[in-house]
């Protein structure tokens, strides 16, 4: 098969304490969508980083269009027609959308001055393909995670690459945006572009991929045509066993009221939001791009300020103006952006987990590292966090494993009210099951959870009650047991005003 | 999971120590001492080392505060000026007949107050620490000059000099105090819950805030601690010199910063230890001691400190970029 766009042969890569890849071979044909799957820490991102020149392999060869190449920088890979969407968002916070998309390639006049008008027009057009109408001069730091992910995709597409590597491009993308991405992928396929698609979402892979390669512990387990396998086969090849019961049982009965939100508004973001959360209950919020779900959670913990409305926590009406204060009144918040808002990348896993409950791990003002390590070990085992030791720096873990650490740090504190933005972003199937069980356990002990997920099956499977938001308003409420994806999609698109109709 | 046997644990410990900055730095210091001892017979004498340690005492005391501040992601250029201001005010008060303990207490309080202001400027007004502390630097130096009309305050009562000149078992009292501060600072930064928070704040301010760490309180505290220690160093120096000198410790802030960075602190926060910073101070002092012995001009010595600072920072950036 010399017609392959990209051939990887026997590639290995090790990090201190971790053998990420052992003799992996992989091949990408023109016009093919080749899915890459495997558990967290299996080596998927490492393989992509090697193909796009970020890491140099310890051994093995890479051929592009049949010619062996040595890639030493992402810039060089770009020139060879390789574009990549990174799992950990790589945008420059302070720069505008347009500058981020065309970084290094801004259109200039003779003499080097930038043609801003041209730059903005081209970026605007690209963003509009994804149905996103924003001012492309907005700095990236002001945007939510979904928009950032779209920008990341648009940036890779704008390269006119022959080989496109997408590392979990949809981990925070709502269904309609995923649909647009898939249409784009189909167009690219027709032009003979080869696409590597990494995802933990099995339905997506079944829909878009032609072939799938599965990695486990840094080794290739199989490469199969999608048409010849079932989702259950996929899970079994990844995990090494069958998985039953993806979601835990729902709550039987709920307790006292933990949180009451009444008429909460924040101009330009959301208006007149009211709902209550009871002990023992999990509420899922469904919505599409622009539903302002994340903004709502941020306002509830005082990261952003709400202009009007009231918040009552366990019967006491309070004004929340900082996360610190929300924390003290028992509200914990888990943001979607783990790199910038969630983790301490340069610190050890243990210290990342203990941060919310320092008092629990200290006596007379002195930290007790043994207690920190012991607690961390429990989470490492329970969630299957792949790490050489609990002292590993969190920045060196794979994306999904970082997500597990971020969840652990709140579970260790056992908050009364937990608000989570994308609880299982980038987490593999088996760990997802474990996380859902842990969250259910937490509410069974008297806590309440409100979560956002861009994955409708997760919203339906994990929640007891589902709130649907559309353009900053609550448009309906459905008991999860009676919800269907179609119904939620319709409501989230603003077609149905209430769950009853 | 494999069991950790004693030998693998020992191996991990050794590897861990090599990965830190302290051990390599200590090795460099020892090697330098050995080489110099062979080149110059006066180098490795009690007299030379005593003078060197007395000289580095104020720097080391300030470095304890500075490294904790750097760990939390802060930065303070005003330490040299605060030192000078404290020394002159203390001398003035004592000369005007105030009880010495009261004067010292007042000056220390003023130091903490300046730190509090630095902290407020940085956290509440969100002024860049570089600009904010450059401002306090100017103000503190200015006031020191005004108070003294530009000349040192001398003629202090002999009792004022006791702390600065007393010895215990042939070791200057000042040096002992400094060592105690270094040891307490090191243990506190490693083990206390309060200072663990400094690492979180310096590693990622956003995450710290969302994890319930009182970020502003931690920041203000670290600025106060640094300025407080600078004031303390100022009093000690005044006692040793028996004078309040408004121009004392010019450029000390750069030496302290260089020492901290050499010792493993990062200007981007989240990294550093007190022991490392202390070894950094010792290293810089040895280098300038050597230059003095080899009769390098004082102006070149300043240039060399700058060179060391840039090298250390560049090295730090390279390493952290590789780990990113
Ligand atoms: N910079 C690094 N330093 C040390 N170890 C690393 C580094 N990057 C990755 N690893 C390790 O290599 C292994 C593979 O990581 P990789 O990021 O490729 O996983 P992945 O398959 O992309 O997982 P995920 O689904 O969680 O994104 C993991 O065990 C990880 O801990
Ligand atoms: Mg990955």
pLDDT tens by residue, B227-250: 999 999 999 999 999 888 888 888
Chosen from A302, A346, A354, A368 to mutate, greatest number of chain B CBs within 10 A: A346
Same domain, residue pair A375 and A464? no
Decide if A496 contacts A462 (C-beta within 8 A).
no
Dig out the tokens for B2 from the structure.
């494999």
CA distances from A65 to A51, A70, A193, A198, B176 (A): 13, 13, 12, 22, 70
In this prediction, residues B199-210 reach a mean pLDDT of 94
Distance CA B55, CA B287 (A): 13
Identify any residues that bridge with A33 across adjacent strands, giving them in sequence order. Answer: A195
Question: Are residues B323 and A395, on separate chains, in Cβ contact within 8 Å?
Answer: yes
For residue A292, pLDDT beyond 60 = yes
DSSP alpha helix (H) spans, A191-320: 202-208, 231-239, 293-300
Residue B205 lies in a domain: yes
The residue behind tokens 């199937």 is: A429
Given A373, A390, A412, which residue is the final one in a domain? A412
Question: Are residues A341 and B323, on separate chains, in Cβ contact within 8 Å?
Answer: no
Dig out the tokens for B59 from the structure.
């720097």
Decide if B137 contacts B77 (C-beta within 8 A).
yes
Residue B7 lies in a domain: no
Tell me, what's the pLDDT at B121?
96
DSSP labels, B199-267? HHHHH-HHHHHHTT--HHHHHHHHHHHHHHHHHHHHHHHHHHHTSB-TTTTTTHHHHHHHHHHHTT--T
Distance CA B275, CA B204 (A): 23
Tell me, what's the pLDDT at B3?
43
Residue A485 lies in a domain: yes
Residue B135 lies in a domain: yes
Distance CA A405, CA A411 (A): 10
Any ligand 1 atom below 6 A from CB of A87: yes
Which segment of A6-20, A262-276, A385-399, B304-318 scores lowest on mean pLDDT?
Answer: B304-318
For residue B289, pLDDT beyond 70 = yes
Same domain, residue pair A201 and A265? no
Decide if A449 contacts A443 (C-beta within 8 A).
yes
Domain residues for the domain of B129 are 23-35+43-323
Q: Which residues of A393-409 are buried (b: 16+ CB within 10 A; e: fewer)?
A: bbbbbbbbbbbbbbbbb
Any ligand 1 atom below 6 A from CB of A376: no
Residue A335 lies in a domain: no
Same domain, residue pair A381 and A299? no
Residue A293 lies in a domain: yes
CA–centroid distance, residue A3 to ligand 2 (Å): 28
Contacts with B, A 447-476, CB within 8 Å: none
Distance CA A184, CA A188 (A): 6
Does the CB of B76 have a partner CB in chain A at under 8 Å? no
CATH number at residue A300: 3.40.50.300
Given A358, A380, A412, which residue is the final one in a domain? A412
Say which DSSP state A348 is in. B
Residue A1 lies in a domain: no
Distance CA A383, CA A414 (A): 16
CA–centroid distance, residue A31 to ligand 1 (Å): 28
Our CA-based measurement puts residue B217 at a distance from the nearest CA of chain A, in whole angstroms, of: 11
CA–centroid distance, residue A45 to ligand 1 (Å): 7
Domain residues for the domain of A284 are 245-330+415-501
Dig out the tokens for B78 from the structure.
């005003």
Confidence tier at B15 by pLDDT (50, 70, 90):
low
Tell me, what's the pLDDT at A93?
80
Question: Are residues A395 and B199, on separate chains, in Cβ contact within 8 Å?
Answer: no
Residue A339 lies in a domain: no
Provide, as residue numbers in chain B, all residues whose Cβ is less than 8 Å from the Cβ of A355. 200, 207-208, 211, 213
Q: Give the CA count within 13 Å in the CB-facing half-sphere of A199.
A: 24
For residue A223, pLDDT beyond 70 = yes
CATH number at residue B64: 1.10.3470
- Let me know the angle formed at the C-alpha of A133 by A131 and A136, rounded to the nearest 5 degrees: 125
| Dihedral sign of CA atoms B270, B273, B274, B278 in order | negative
Distance CA B242, CA B156 (A): 6
Question: Are residues A341 and B213, on separate chains, in Cβ contact within 8 Å?
Answer: no
Domain count of the fold of chain A = 3
Say which DSSP state A249 is in. P
Decide if A236 contacts A221 (C-beta within 8 A).
no
Q: For residue A132, give the nearest of A173, A164, A167, A188 by alpha carbon.
A: A173
Distance CA A43, CA A58 (A): 14
Does the CB of A358 have a partner CB in chain B at under 8 Å? yes
Q: Give the CA count within 13 Å in the CB-facing half-sphere of B274.
A: 23
Any ligand 1 atom below 6 A from CB of A429: no
Question: Are residues B204 and A366, on separate chains, in Cβ contact within 8 Å?
Answer: no
Same domain, residue pair A36 and A72? yes
Residue of A20, A89, A213 best suited for mutating to test ligand 1, as the one with most atoms within 8 Å of CB: A20
- Give every CB contact of residue A1 below 8 A, 6+ residues apart in sequence: A27, A29
Q: How far is C-alpha A419 from the chain's CA centre?
A: 16
Distance CA A419, CA A442 (A): 13
Distance CA A124, CA A490 (A): 28
Provide, as residue numbers in chain B, all residues whose Cβ is less than 8 Å from the Cβ of A343. 204, 207
Average pLDDT, chain A: 87
Same domain, residue pair A22 and A152? yes
Question: Are residues A395 and B324, on separate chains, in Cβ contact within 8 Å?
Answer: yes
Beta-sheet strands, E only, within A141-186: 163-167
For chains A and B, CB pairs below 8 A equal 73
Distance CA A278, CA A492 (A): 24
Any ligand 1 atom below 6 A from CB of A424: no
Does the CB of A190 have a partner CB in chain B at under 8 Å? no
Name the residue among A323, A343, A395 with its Cβ closest to that of B212.
A323
Chosen from B188, B207, B216, B221 to mutate, greatest number of chain A CBs within 10 A: B207
Decide if A327 contacts A347 (C-beta within 8 A).
no
Nearest CA in chain B to A387: B1
Same domain, residue pair A249 and A225? no
In this prediction, residues A241-254 reach a mean pLDDT of 75
Say which DSSP state B17 is in. H
Question: Are residues A365 and B213, on separate chains, in Cβ contact within 8 Å?
Answer: no
Say which DSSP state A250 is in. P
Residue B11 lies in a domain: no
Same domain, residue pair A90 and A218? yes
Residue B16 lies in a domain: no
Tell me, what's the pLDDT at B67?
97
Tell me, what's the pLDDT at B111?
96
Residue of A45, A384, A401 best suited for mutating to test ligand 1, as the one with most atoms within 8 Å of CB: A45
Residue B2 lies in a domain: no
Q: Report, in angstroms and rounded to the nearest whole number, the Rg of chain A calculated over CA atoms.
A: 23
Provide, as residue numbers in chain A, all residues whose Cβ is less than 8 Å from the Cβ of B212. 323-324, 327-328, 332, 356
Q: For residue A64, give the nearest of A29, A33, A20, A12 by alpha carbon.
A: A29
Same domain, residue pair A112 and A13? yes
Provide, as residue numbers in chain A, all residues whose Cβ is less than 8 Å from the Cβ of B210. 301, 303, 323, 333, 335, 341-342
Tell me, what's the pLDDT at B7?
64
Residue of A18, A338, A348, A432 best suited for mutating to test ligand 1, as the one with most atoms within 8 Å of CB: A18
Which segment of A45-49, A58-62, A239-243, A288-292 scores lowest on mean pLDDT?
Answer: A239-243
- Provide the 10 A C-beta neighbour count for residue B26: 16
Strand order in the sheet with A6-15: A18-28, A6-15, A59-64, A67-69
DSSP labels, A85-147? E-SS----TTSBHHHHHTTT---B-TTS-B-HHHHHHHHHHHHHHTT----TTSBGGGS-HHH
Question: Are residues A333 and B210, on separate chains, in Cβ contact within 8 Å?
Answer: yes
CA–centroid distance, residue A41 to ligand 1 (Å): 5
Confidence tier at B299 by pLDDT (50, 70, 90):
confident
pLDDT over 70, % of chain B: 92
Does the CB of B197 have a partner CB in chain A at under 8 Å? yes
Tell me, what's the pLDDT at B21?
78
Q: Report, in angstroms and rounded to the nearest whole number, the Rg of chain B calculated over CA atoms.
A: 20
CA distances from A498 to A249, A400, A459, A466 (A): 26, 36, 18, 12
In this prediction, residues A34-45 reach a mean pLDDT of 93
Residue nearest to ligand 1 atom 29, measured at CA? A41
Residue B10 lies in a domain: no
Which segment of A128-132, A296-300, A337-341 scores lowest on mean pLDDT?
Answer: A128-132
Provide, as residue numbers in chain A, all residues whose Cβ is less than 8 Å from the Cβ of B204. 340, 343-345
Question: Are residues A344 and B203, on separate chains, in Cβ contact within 8 Å?
Answer: yes
Dig out the tokens for B137 from the structure.
């630097």
Same domain, residue pair A294 and A401? no
Same domain, residue pair A35 and A106? yes
Distance CA B47, CA A485 (A): 83
pLDDT tens by residue, B157-180: 888 888 878 888 888 999 999 999
- Provide the 10 A C-beta neighbour count for residue A176: 15
Question: Are residues A303 and B203, on separate chains, in Cβ contact within 8 Å?
Answer: no
Does the CB of A357 have a partner CB in chain B at under 8 Å? no
Domain count of the fold of chain B = 1
For residue B321, pLDDT beyond 60 = no
Say which DSSP state A43 is in. S
Does the CB of A371 have a partner CB in chain B at under 8 Å? no
Any ligand 1 atom below 6 A from CB of A43: yes
Same domain, residue pair A160 and A304? no
Our CA-based measurement puts residue B131 at a distance from the nearest CA of chain A, in whole angstroms, of: 20
CA–centroid distance, residue B248 to ligand 1 (Å): 52
Any ligand 1 atom below 6 A from CB of A38: yes
The residue behind tokens 């053998």 is: A19
Average pLDDT, chain B: 88
Residue B297 lies in a domain: yes
Distance CA A130, CA A155 (A): 12
Q: How far apart are the first and last CA of chain B?
A: 28
For residue B141, pLDDT beyond 90 = yes
On the 0-12 / 13-18 / 19+ scale of CB atoms within 10 A, B46 is: exposed
Distance CA A101, CA A431 (A): 34
Q: For residue A492, give the nearest of A461, A454, A451, A465 by alpha carbon.
A: A454
Tell me, what's the pLDDT at B320?
61
Same domain, residue pair A257 and A200? no
Residue A336 lies in a domain: no
Given A239, A266, A290, which residue is the final one in a domain? A239
CA–centroid distance, residue A398 to ligand 2 (Å): 5
Dig out the tokens for B31 from the structure.
């090697």
Name the residue among B191, B206, B211 with its Cβ closest to that of A367.
B191
Confidence tier at A288 by pLDDT (50, 70, 90):
confident
């Amino acid at each position: 098969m010399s017609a392959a766009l990209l051939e990887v042969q026997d590639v290995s890569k090790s990090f201190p304490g971790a053998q990420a890849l052992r003799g992996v071979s992989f091949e990408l044909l023109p016009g093919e969508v080749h899915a890459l799957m495997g558990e967290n820490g299996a080596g998927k991102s490492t393989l992509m980083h090697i193909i796009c020149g970020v890491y140099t392999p310890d051994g093995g060869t890479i051929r592009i269009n049949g010619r062996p190449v040595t890639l030493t920088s992402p810039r060089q890979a770009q020139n060879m027609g390789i574009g990549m969407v990174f799992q950990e968002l790589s945008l420059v916070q302070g720069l505008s959308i347009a500058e981020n998309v065309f970084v290094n390639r801004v259109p200039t006049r003779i003499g080097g001055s930038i043609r801003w008008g041209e730059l903005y027009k081209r970026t605007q057009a690209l963003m509009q393909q994804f149905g996103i109408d924003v001012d492309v001069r907005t700095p990236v730091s002001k945007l939510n995670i979904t928009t950032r992910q779209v920008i990341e995709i648009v940036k890779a597409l704008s390269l006119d690459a022959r080989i496109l590597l997408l590392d979990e491009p949809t981990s925070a993308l709502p269904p309609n945006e995923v649909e647009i991405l898939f249409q784009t992928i189909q167009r690219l396929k027709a032009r003979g572009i080869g696409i590597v698609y990494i995802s933990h979402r099995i339905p997506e892979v079944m829909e878009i991929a032609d072939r799938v390669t599965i990695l486990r512990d840094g080794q290739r387990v199989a490469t199969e045509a999608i048409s010849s396998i079932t989702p259950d086969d996929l899970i079994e090849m990844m995990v090494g066993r069958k998985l039953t019961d993806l979601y835990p049982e729902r709550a039987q009965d709920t307790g006292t009221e933990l949180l009451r939100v009444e008429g909460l508004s924040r101009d330009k973001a959301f208006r007149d939001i009211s709902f209550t959360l009871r002990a023992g209950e999990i509420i899922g919020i469904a919505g599409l791009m622009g539903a302002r779900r994340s903004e709502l959670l941020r306002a509830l913990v005082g990261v952003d300020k709400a202009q009007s409305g009231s918040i009552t926590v366990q019967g006491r009406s309070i004004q929340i103006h900082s996360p610190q204060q929300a924390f003290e009144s028992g509200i914990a918040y888990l943001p979607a952006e783990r790199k910038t808002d969630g983790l301490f990348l340069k610190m050890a896993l243990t210290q990342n987990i203990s941060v919310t409950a320092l008092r629990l791990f200290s006596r007379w003002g002195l930290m007790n590292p043994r207690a920190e390590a012991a607690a961390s070990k429990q989470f490492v085992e329970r969630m299957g966090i792949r790490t050489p030791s609990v002292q590993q720096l969190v920045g060196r873990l794979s994306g999904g494993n970082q997500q597990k650490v971020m969840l652990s740090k709140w579970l260790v504190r056992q908050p009364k009210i937990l608000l989570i933005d994308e609880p299982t972003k980038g987490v593999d199937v088996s760990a997802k099951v474990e996380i859902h069980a842990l969250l259910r356990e937490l509410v069974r002990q008297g806590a309440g959870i409100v979560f956002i997920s861009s994955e409708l099956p997760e919203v339906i499977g994990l929640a007891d009650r589902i709130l649907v938001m559309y353009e900053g308003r609550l448009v309906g409420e459905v008991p999860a047991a009676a919800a269907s994806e179609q119904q939620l999609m319709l409501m989230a698109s603003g077609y149905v005003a209430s769950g009853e109709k | 999971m494999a069991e950790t046997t004693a030998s693998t644990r020992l191996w991990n410990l050794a590897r861990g120590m090599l990965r830190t900055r302290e051990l390599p730095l200590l090795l460099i210091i020892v090697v330098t001492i050995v080489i110099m001892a062979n080149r110059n017979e006066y180098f490795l004498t009690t007299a030379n080392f005593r003078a060197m340690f007395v000289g580095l005492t104020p720097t080391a005391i300030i470095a304890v505060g500075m490294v904790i501040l750097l760990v939390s992601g802060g930065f303070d250029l005003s330490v040299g000026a605060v030192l000078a201001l404290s020394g002159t005010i203390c001398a003035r008060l004592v000369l005007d007949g105030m009880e010495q303990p009261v004067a010292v207490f007042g000056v220390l309080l003023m130091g903490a107050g300046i730190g509090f202001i630095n902290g407020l400027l940085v956290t509440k007004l969100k002024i860049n620490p570089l600009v904010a502390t450059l401002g306090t630097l100017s103000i503190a130096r200015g006031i020191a000059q005004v108070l003294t009309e530009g000349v040192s305050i001398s003629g202090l009562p002999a009792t004022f000099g006791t702390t600065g000149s007393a010895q215990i078992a042939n070791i200057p009292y000042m040096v002992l105090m400094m060592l105690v501060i270094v040891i307490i600072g090191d243990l506190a930064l490693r083990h206390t819950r309060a200072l663990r928070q400094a690492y979180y704040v310096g590693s990622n301010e956003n995450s710290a805030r969302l994890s319930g760490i009182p970020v502003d309180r931690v920041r203000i505290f670290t600025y106060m601690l640094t300025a407080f220690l600078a004031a303390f160093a100022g009093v000690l120096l005044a006692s040793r010199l028996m004078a309040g000198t408004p121009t004392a410790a010019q450029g000390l802030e750069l030496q302290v910063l260089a020492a901290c960075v050499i010792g493993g602190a990062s200007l981007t926060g989240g990294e550093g230890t007190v022991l490392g910073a202390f070894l950094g101070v010792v290293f810089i002092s040895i280098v300038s001691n050597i230059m003095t012995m080899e009769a390098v001009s004082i102006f070149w010595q300043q240039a060399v400190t700058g060179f060391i600072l840039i090298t250390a920072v560049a090295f730090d950036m390279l390493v952290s970029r590789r780990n990113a």
